[in-house]
Structure 1
């Protein structure tokens, strides 16, 4: 406990030093980011320090103690409710605290010998202040789900990989990485989950008493991907027209949710008056898988814009649809580097960049919301229309990078190249490169 308290004291000192004792509104951008990072480190240290406390409260509140249970003595029905009341966390968060605490605490065998924690790599990352409780809980939950079916050594390596990759990722980004990790550790579990999602699909359309038409539904990835792509593609077109046009179009004040509702209505109007299958806006659904896995029917594939990996069977079915583009990695492809012969990147080049960047290389927006930009400008800097000089960015990130002075560096070639964003000096005096693109979600240790 003394060691944990010392680490907390050091984290508090770091917060004070980062701000120099000044109010937040008196700080420059770089100083404000330093204070933000110091508070993040402090919060992670507090998580690490409190988890053993939550675990011990649970141990002293176990059911077999009856009326001598600590929680009952304090007037609570369960240790989670006690923790929730005293920390301000939800009961669900309290349960997760206990789970993480038990999974990362040193253990004692039946013979009285000391044993490492159930999840030692997560425990080490927590103790070092590299990850907080939410990230630890997400990783542990997945590992526990696949524990029965996954190879133990592979699960241990994956735990180490995820614990190392989690710092710097948002929780949504980490969940995307965890979904890929689960598919890698338990590929046989994909098909049953897909069958259940398919069985649970539904759509209801009804009119409420006020006259509104209520549409509610849930879809499996195979059926949901084209719906999602079509609606998001239409919405992206609406936003671009609003941003690039003066006059009435530029005065469009609809929210994204309102645009999505209008996009669905537009698709249905088109379907009612069209003899052909509606193809929607200029957007595509790309399913991706290695050639060896596709031929063998093993492993997992990906659908652009869908975080959950899918089985080889789903990839094969979707690849048979003429309106969906299958991207088989390792197969033959057309020439993608056009040099100065073309001003604009071709659709084939954009598909290749999707393999590398996965969408907006900066913020992670889906591919259909992005356009290809030259790193070295075509007109001003004689930049080539080659893959090595292109990057996928959404409109907002493109403007932010240019206006704020970010630099971009690409290491390597092809879909495995690594994209780095280098912040401007006013934001980060050290200009520490930040990894972008699809490689943020690589599972290789």
Structure 2
């Protein structure tokens, strides 16, 4: 049997007939060593491919117009040309071009010297050029750290890049992305809110009918949406995916029944989502959805939660939805603590739990129904009650643990976000509520927030 090194040495030989090796005879250790060796070879080949891609991109740069290499071959861009030559995807071609941008630029006597790359990018490019990391890993590190480049100094970025390059060979791409995001957020806490908004803006759900009678659903969930949706779908499909074993006889019986279900996990996921939508559609427009069980958890340190606001009104710090890797802003954590349905769990610097949020801090279902009758929907924009969340007009620690109807108003999610993110306040004057926020000149103004409830209006008129 040909050894792995001998076989790998022949792969690139154009005069050698290619054949996939017979790996069934390898021992376990040999099999794993072979996989590692192939990965090393692939990193080297990808580094060479990136060098070629970079030169193709240079010869196809926009200022060359139709004389550029890509357009001369009838294609719009270097990525299109690379994809055609390699019979690959445009995405893979883009990854190679981006990796080439990190590698040292060759000298070009006919052109002025290229601007020097930041040190952190040079470190990543050198790692690609030496086959220490893959071009895909380089893309992950680059994209995560580039998001913090404006909020962190070069030395700090270089230190993080060096650490990620060292850790990358021992991490999957998914875990590298999580690790890079963590280090990026530690570098640039002030940028978390903006990155959260960017992810929030990418969310979408698209429904399109197909000619065969089926309907396709596609979309992207931002971390907050995923924190609500994914645990529910996981709970419904977990036994079918080899989920946890149950001690409770009823739970065990349900798991056994689900295991015998002929539906695939994907089909069960869809059926669960459809049933949830069906149930939600039965809720009257004038009532609050009773879906505020504490299934969504926000993890945040006491120090971050108590951090002072900066000149722009934003507070630096990081919070996390349980089960989600991306950090969210302190404003979002505060909104969830204020709202119903989330359990805030605060830790001290030693990792000890300081406080586990109690259901008493949340408005009860009956209280929310009463607030719906009083407010008639969102106090700011008038959205129907079924779209709203209960907002504490005073923070939890300011009203001594009370959750009185008088201390809450209904706000839709959009207006609730605005109140928290902009550090606005809602004040009560007897039975009236006023929105307190600065005007264009920075002067604090109070705007009345009248009720939208026709029943209350009729009562007051009588």
The two structures have a TM-score, normalised by structure 1, of 0.59
The answer as to 2:25 corresponding to 1:29 is: no
Task: Write the deviation string for residues 248-305 of structure 1: whole angstroms up to 9, x where unpaired.
Answer: 654212222222223234545666589982367xx84332122211110422121122
Contact 2:239–2:259 (Cα < 8 Å) also in 1? no
- What does residue 43 of structure 1 align with? 42
- What does residue 291 of structure 1 align with? 302
1:8-407 equivalences under 5 Å are 12-13=8-9, 23-66=22-65, 68-74=67-73, 76-106=75-105, 119-195=121-197, 197-198=199-200, 219-237=221-239, 249-267=258-276, 272=282, 277-278=290-291, 284-296=295-307, 297-321=315-339, 323-330=341-348, 333=353
Contact 1:121–1:160 (Cα < 8 Å) also in 2? yes
Between the aligned partners of 1:132 and 1:317, the Cα distance in structure 2 is: 40
Structure whose CA Rg is larger: 2
Which stretch of structure 1 is more off in the superposition, 325-334 or 206-215?
206-215
Task: Write the deviation string for residues 63-104 of structure 1: whole angstroms up to 9, x where unpaired.
Answer: 444555344555544333332222233223223312211222
Secondary structure of 1:325's partner? Answer: strand
Contact 1:51–1:100 (Cα < 8 Å) also in 2? yes
Secondary structure of 2:298's partner? Answer: strand
* CA shift for structure 1 position 310: 0.5
Between the aligned partners of 1:114 and 1:298, the Cα distance in structure 2 is: 33
Contact 1:131–1:167 (Cα < 8 Å) also in 2? yes
Task: Write the deviation string for residues 92-138 of structure 1: whole angstroms up to 9, x where unpaired.
Answer: 32233122112221576998699677622212322332211111122
Secondary structure of 2:320's partner? Answer: strand
Unaligned segments of structure 2, at least 5 residues: 13-19, 246-251, 308-314, 356-462
Secondary structure of 1:122's partner? Answer: helix
* CA shift for structure 1 position 184: 3.0
Q: 1:278 to 1:33 in 2, by over 3 A?
A: same
* CA shift for structure 1 position 140: 1.7
Bigger RCO (CA 8 Å, 6+ sep): 1
Q: 1:256 to 1:330 in 2, by over 3 A?
A: same
Unaligned segments of structure 1, at least 5 residues: 1-8, 336-445
Between the aligned partners of 1:159 and 1:30, the Cα distance in structure 2 is: 32
Between the aligned partners of 1:320 and 1:279, the Cα distance in structure 2 is: 13
Between the aligned partners of 2:142 and 2:238, the Cα distance in structure 1 is: 37
Contact 2:192–2:317 (Cα < 8 Å) also in 1? no
Between the aligned partners of 1:190 and 1:46, the Cα distance in structure 2 is: 36
Which stretch of structure 1 is more off in the superposition, 138-147 or 156-165?
138-147
